[in-house]
Amino acid sequence: MKIYINGELLSEKDAKISVFDHGLLYGDGVFEGIRAYDGIVSLLQEHTDRLYRSAKAIALDIPMTKQTMMDAVAMTCKANKMTNGYIRLVVTRGVGELGLNPYLCANPQVIIIASKIQLYPKELYEKGLQIVTVGTIRNNSESVNPSIKSLNYLNNILAKIEAINAGYMEAIMLNSQGYIAEATGDNIFAVHGKTLVTPPACEGALVGITRNTVMRIAAEQGFEVKESRLTRYDLFNADEVFLTGTAAEVIGVSKVDRRTIAQGVPGPVTTDLARRFREYAGKTGVAIG
């Protein structure tokens, strides 16, 4: 495997960064997870735009243009002969002194990994995913803005640990007011008739690329799509519940906190949106070449 670091393609054994990089020491940096489908880096412009917005929010100057960044992603995929897979695009603060001051860091590190990921087993897309509410509260949106996709994922990891220890693969995270924020790595939707509801960013939800794409597709299919507060009661009594994310794509939820959702299998809305999303994502992006 070839790893891109600051303009070079390096072997895995040679792909290294300093132990003094603030991305390692403090989780100071931003990232994107991106899919490739049949030679297309899916929604690359949208992911790149969000990467640069996240970087701007934490006063991190990315040392290359957006176009150069997108070219580097495509080049890394091509170097690894990857037509279908997962890309992790990372920008760290760079090497600095011990201490929090980011302005003492020089030379942000741009890292691109083109590999594979399978977040959930294939059979769960047919049977539905069982999820559980955990006690780890989502970071307050006024503390760390959820629109920033930063390297510091400890809040989500702690929630994932709780879910796994309870025997589940995924968790629901509530905010400090008890409203649903998101899953540990995915956005969450409830379907009520012809209405789709998902939490807004102010409730602690990341503004996901897949989330936004599914919302647009659903609106085109005649659904009313709303960003609104959701409670667990709203999920328990929904016609359908599903999660969205770059790695997960669209996956239906069969049970929430041991309450069966409708018929206990992914419903027709989830199934149709999953198909339409995959079709759209598979043809919208940048060719690897």
Q: Angle formed by the axes of helices 44-57 and 66-79, to 10°?
A: 130
DSSP string computed for 147-178 = TS-BS--HHHHHHHHHHHHTT-SEEEEE-TTS
Residue 263, sorted as left (phi over 0), alpha (psi -120 to 50) or beta, turns out to be alpha
239: which residues sit within 8 A by CB, 6+ positions away?
191, 192, 193, 262, 267, 269
What integer is the mean pLDDT of 107-121?
93
What integer is the mean pLDDT of 133-153?
94
pLDDT at 268: 98
Q: What is the DSSP code (8-state) at residue 121?
A: -
CA distance 133 to 175: 11
Token code pair at residue 22: 């603030």
User: For residue 114, how many other CB atoms are within 10 A of its CB?
Assistant: 27
CA distance 141 to 132: 22
Q: Give yes or no for residue 288 having a pLDDT over 90.
A: yes
For residues 143 and 55, the model is more confident at 55
pLDDT at 58: 97
Res. 279 pLDDT band, cuts 50 70 90: very high
Backbone angles phi, psi at 88, to 5 degrees: -110, 115
CA distance 32 to 69: 12
What integer is the mean pLDDT of 58-71?
98
Task: List the domains of the chain with CATH numbers.
Answer: 2-116 (3.30.470.10), 124-281 (3.20.10.10)
Strand partners, 6: none
Share of the chain above pLDDT 70, in %: 100
- Using a 10 angstrom Cβ sphere, with 0-12 exposed, 13-18 middle and 19 or more buried, the burial of residue 129 is buried
Backbone angles phi, psi at 19, to 5 degrees: -70, -10
16 is catalytic: no
pLDDT at 141: 87
pLDDT at 119: 81
Q: CA 200, 168, 149, 174: dihedral to nearest 10 degrees?
A: 40
Full-model pTM: 0.96
Per-residue pLDDT of 3-45, as tens digits, reads: 999 999 999 999 999 999 999 999 999 999 999 999 999 999 9
Give the active site residue among 116, 149, 226, 255. Answer: 149
